[in-house]
Homo-oligomer: A and B are copies of this chain.
Amino acid sequence: MQDQERVAARRPVTRQDVARYAGVSTAVVSYVVNSGPRAVAPATRAKVLDAIRLLDYRPNAAARALKLGSTQLLGLVVPDSTNPYFAELSHAIEEAADAKGLAVLQTNSAGAALQERNLLQKLISRQIDGLLLASVGAVPDLSRVAAANIPVVLLDRDEGASGLVAVGTDYRAGSRAGVRHLIEHGHTDIGLVVGRDTGGTTAAREAGWLEALAEAGLAEGPIAHVGFSREGGYEAGRRLLNRERPPTAIFASSDMQAIGVLRAIHETEWAVPDDIAVISFDGSVESEFSWPPLTTIRQPVHDMARAAVDAVTQDRAGSREEYLSFPTELVIRASCGRHPIKR
C-alpha cells in the first residue's frame, strides 16, 4: 500500500496523444509542428497548438531523424578544446549552429591521429549531418566520412584540400603584417617561435615572417620550432634568450606560445617591451590579459565559424572544393612597444 506513492513513470507524450486530444489526425499535428507541407485551417491549427501546450508535447528527435535521415547534428573535432583559440572557435561554431537549429557534438582528438579516426567513426554512426574538422595531420583520413556521404569542412587550414571545403585565415599575410609592425618599431633582429610540424598553417606563418624580413632587407632571425602550447612557447623563449645575442623582438605564431615566451622573458627579468618586444598570432582573450597585453594578429573567429557552419549545411558541400580565407586584424597593445629598442 505504501508503494502507491511511487511516481508513475510518465510515458512521454507523442504525436498520437496530441492528435487524440485535439481531435485531429496525426498528419495534421505534423503539418502544424512543421508548418507544412500541407496547409491547416487556422481553427484546427489553434486546437493543435493548444493541445501541444497543454500536454507539453515535444517532438521526438530520434524518430524524426530516423524518418528524415537527418539528425540536425553537427560533429566537431578539435585537437584540444581547452586551448583558448579552439575554445573560442568551438563556442562560435556552437552559436552559429544553434542559430540554424543544429546542435553540435564536440570532441577532442588530443592531437592524435588514431583518436581522431576513432572519433570520426563514432560521429558517423551517430548520423551527423555534417562534420567540422580541425585535423591533426595535413591529410586526414576521410574515406569513411566520404563513404557515409557526410559533408565535411576543414577548419584551421591554410589551403583547400582535394574535393573539400576548408576555412582559415590568411596566415601568411597576417604574419607579414605583424612582423612588419615590429620592423616599423625599428627592430632588425626578430626571432620566430613556430610549430614543429612542417606544412599546414605553420609553414604559412613562417613564410609571412620571412617575407616581411626580406621585404625590409633584413637578415633571417633565429627560429625556435616547438609545440603549439604554453610549455612550447616557454621552451622556445628560453632558447631564444639564451643565445649569445638574443633578438630584440619575437614573433610567436600563436597566443599560447607567446604566453610561454612571456614567462621565459619575465624569468630572465627582462622588460617587455623595453628590452624585448613580443607579438603573437590568434587574438584569443588570453592575449589581452597577459602582462603586458599582447599585440596580436587576430583571427576573425566568429566569421570563420559562421562560414564553416554555412558551408557544411549546404547541399553542395562534400562535392566541391573551395578555400574560404579570412583576413586577420592587427590588434596593437603594449607588448610591441612604442619605440625602437637600443641595445
Contacts and interface: CB of A to CB of B under 8 A. Distances in A.
Interface stretch (A41-49, A102-110, A164-172, A179-187): A102-110
A82 B71 contact: no
27 contacts: A7-B319, A10-B149, A58-B121, A58-B124, A58-B125, A60-B66, A60-B127, A61-B125, A61-B127, A62-B65, A63-B66, A81-B87, A81-B90, A81-B94, A82-B87, A82-B91, A82-B285, A84-B84, A84-B87, A94-B107, A94-B108, A104-B105, A104-B106, A262-B291, A263-B289, A286-B286, A291-B291
Contacts of A63: 66
A19 interface: no
A9 interface: yes
Contacts of A91: 80-82, 108
**Oligomer copy total:** 2
Interface in A54-87: 56, 58-63, 65-66, 71, 80-82, 84, 87
A82 B234 CA distance: 23
B87 A147 contact: no
Interface of A: 7, 9-10, 12, 56, 58-63, 65-66, 71, 80-82, 84, 87-88, 90-91, 94-95, 98, 103-108, 121-122, 124-127, 144, 147-149, 230, 234, 259-260, 262-263, 266, 285-286, 288-293, 319
B230 A289 contact: yes
A128 to B, nearest CB: 9
Closest 4 pairs between A and B when the two form their complex, measured CB to CB:
A62-B65, A58-B125, A62-B66, A61-B126
Contacts of A121: 58
Nearest to A284: B82
